[in-house]
């Protein structure tokens, strides 16, 4: 048993509470937030190392043993996602120091920022399906505030849609958990898996599986439930957009992965449905990414493409496809955060997100241009960068399991992704140089540090595949063999 796994939840929680008392001192808020973010990375790295060396870590909150009490569980997938979240949160935080503005900072921006991380890390760590709902709500309440903070017209308009969708999603989540509890009589995830296996193949379990897919699909933005995402993610400033794009949809994806591998691994209908929806998600994302000339919209639709690619790998349900999905999930979190932060700088320089009103930035800002170029290649999965290995494993698994159409669409999507991000590179950085109003006020070098570090991590992630593969493989093994997770939690 380890108490270390609760620290990535407690550190941002106490940080958020402490920062409330320093509302009038932005400098103190920045120092405390920065120290907390670096501490969270260190603790998350130690936790991931501990899980790799000693196996799955569990912690029973209070003295109630599983399955009767609330259990926190950190397997390799959970530990990797918590570590990735901590790194991305730190990058977005340091970027915020130079970009978010005092108007937002004095209205508890850093407190709410930390509460969002509490929800994300809690969702990745909980071993209890009802507490997954609780951490979802913590994450969503913080995201409501971050979305509307600043009070611009577009933020207020999009927040109404975002809150409405998530209120409906939360109601469905509670209903789904209630249905599940009425069938299995437990809320502990490992125990649910055991009870479902004992219950056999009941039709009600397929209905519950579809309900969970709707709930998590709304949060993860799968087809046709992604309609709310492009507008909502477009509204907030760059660091908030990066947090949302890199983390929030991935909590939905993680929840699908966890429930479908632990609760419903043998339900053929729901996995076939997931495969069809994942392919349609890729197609919908591609259409959006190549249709727009708005740099924010292009990257936002690339979120949807990535969700489809990851879930296509999950739907195949082999060890190799799961390894590919975990590889690609972590890659996408890092590279999406980097790209959103970079396009935030581009939009700030140009005073617009419209590609048709940009050009020639490479002459004045070569560092910005070439960082974007490398990040764009990584996103498209150009070898040997980070997106390549995960996509290769997913495609190969698809062909081996005779999912030819799906694998073909995943391959084709890489070309369209490359086209969409190269359109940004050519439109914003090449062409005739333009003079932009107030561009000299933008601290490009200070802002570029965070996305440059994330891009470097993505490059190293791709180049170091051989060293990282055993860690990712261990995460996939727990997903394809649920007994490992069950035995660790229930101590069987």
Q: Tens digits of per-residue pLDDT, 67-90?
A: 788 889 999 999 999 999 999 999
β-strand pairing of 70-74 with 57-61: antiparallel
Nearest CA to 337 among 418, 249, 245?
245
Q: Output the pLDDT for position 1.
A: 45
Radius of gyration of the chain (CA): 21
At 311, list the tokens: 């879930």
Q: Output the pLDDT for position 430.
A: 83
Nearest CA to 450 among 26, 27, 97?
97
Q: Output the pLDDT for position 428.
A: 85
What is the mean predicted confidence (pLDDT) over 282-290?
93
> CB neighbours of 25 closer than 8 A, spacing ≥ 6?
none
Give percent of the chain above pLDDT 90.
Answer: 52
How does pLDDT run across 207-236, given as a tens digit for each residue? Answer: 888 999 999 998 888 988 888 888 888 888
Domain boundaries of the chain, sorted by first residue: 3-490
Binned at pLDDT 50, 70 and 90, residue 2 comes out as: low
Q: Output the pLDDT for position 158.
A: 85
Q: What is the number of residues in the chain?
A: 492
How does pLDDT run across 127-144, given as a tens digit for each residue? Answer: 899 999 999 999 999 999
Q: Are 11 and 120 in contact (CB under 8 A)?
A: no
* Strand, helix or coil for residue 57: strand
At 327, list the tokens: 């590889």
At 466, list the tokens: 């051989």
> CB neighbours of 21 closer than 8 A, spacing ≥ 6?
none
What is the mean predicted confidence (pLDDT) over 110-117?
94
* Residue 201 scores a pLDDT above 70: no
What is the mean predicted confidence (pLDDT) over 201-207?
80
Nearest CA to 81 among 333, 443, 438?
333
Binned at pLDDT 50, 70 and 90, residue 418 comes out as: very high
H/E element holding 72? strand 70-74
* Residue 492 scores a pLDDT above 70: no
CA 358, CA 351: separation in Å to the nearest integer? 9
CA 441, CA 335: separation in Å to the nearest integer? 27
Give percent of the chain above pLDDT 70.
Answer: 98
Q: Please give the mean pLDDT across all residues of the chain.
A: 89
How does pLDDT run across 15-74, given as a tens digit for each residue? Answer: 999 999 988 888 999 999 999 999 999 999 999 999 999 888 888 887 777 778 888 999
What is the mean predicted confidence (pLDDT) over 340-368?
86
Classify the phi-psi angles of 25: left when phi > 0, otherwise alpha if psi is within -120 to 50, otherwise beta: beta
């Amino acid at each position: 048993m380890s108490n270390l796994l609760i620290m990535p939840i407690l550190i941002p929680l106490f940080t958020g509470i402490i920062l409330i008392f320093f509302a009038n001192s932005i400098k103190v808020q920045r120092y405390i937030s920065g120290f907390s973010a670096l501490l969270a990375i260190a603790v998350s790295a130690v936790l991931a190392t501990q899980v790799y060396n000693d196996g799955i870590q569990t912690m029973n909150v209070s003295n109630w043993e599983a399955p009767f009490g609330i259990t926190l569980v950190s397997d390799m997938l959970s530990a990797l996602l918590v570590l990735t979240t901590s790194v991305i949160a730190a990058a977005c935080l340091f970027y915020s120091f130079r970009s978010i503005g005092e108007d937002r900072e004095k209205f508890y921006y850093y407190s709410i920022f930390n509460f969002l991380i509490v929800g994300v890390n809690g969702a990745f760590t909980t071993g209890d399906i009802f507490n997954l709902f609780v951490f979802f709500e913590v994450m969503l309440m913080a995201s409501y505030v971050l979305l509307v903070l600043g009070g611009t017209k577009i933020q207020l308009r999009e927040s109404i849609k975002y809150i409405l969708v998530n209120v409906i999603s939360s109601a469905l989540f509670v209903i789904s958990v209630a249905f599940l509890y009425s069938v299995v009589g437990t809320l502990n995830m490992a125990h649910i898996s055991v009870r479902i296996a004992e219950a056999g193949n009941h039709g009600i379990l397929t209905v519950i599986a579809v309900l969970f897919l709707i709930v998590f699909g709304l949060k993860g933005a799968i087809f046709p439930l992604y309609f709310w995402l492009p507008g909502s993610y477009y509204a907030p400033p760059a660091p908030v957009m990066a947090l949302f794009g890199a983390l929030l949809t991935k909590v939905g994806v993680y929840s699908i992965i966890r429930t479908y591998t632990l609760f419903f691994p043998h339900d053929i209908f729901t996995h076939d449905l997931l495969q069809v929806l994942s392919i349609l998600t890729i197609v919908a994302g591609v259409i959006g990414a190549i249709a727009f000339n708005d740099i924010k919209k292009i990257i936002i639709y690339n979120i949807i493409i990535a969700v489809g690619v990851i879930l296509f790998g999950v739907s195949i349900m082999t060890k190799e496809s799961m390894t590919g999905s975990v590889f690609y999930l972590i890659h996408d979190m890092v590279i999406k955060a980097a790209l959103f932060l970079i396009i935030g700088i581009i939009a700030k320089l140009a005073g617009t997100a419209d590609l048709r009103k940009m050009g020639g930035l490479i002459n004045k800002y070569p560092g910005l241009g070439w960082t974007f170029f490398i990040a764009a290649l990584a996103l498209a999965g150009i070898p040997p960068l980070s997106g390549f290995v995960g996509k290769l494993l997913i495609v190969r698994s698809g062909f081996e399991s005779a999912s030819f159409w799906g694998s073909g669409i995943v391959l084709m999507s890489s070309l369209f992704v490359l086209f969409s991000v190269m359109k940004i590179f050519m439109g914003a950085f090449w062409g005739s140089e333009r003079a932009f109003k107030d561009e000299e006020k933008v601290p490009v070098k200070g802002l570029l540090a965070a996305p440059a570090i994330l891009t470097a991590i993505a490059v190293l992630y791709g180049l170091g595949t051989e060293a990282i593969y055993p860690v990712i493989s261990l995460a996939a093994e727990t997903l394809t063999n649920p007994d490992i997770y069950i035995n660790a939690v229930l101590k069987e």
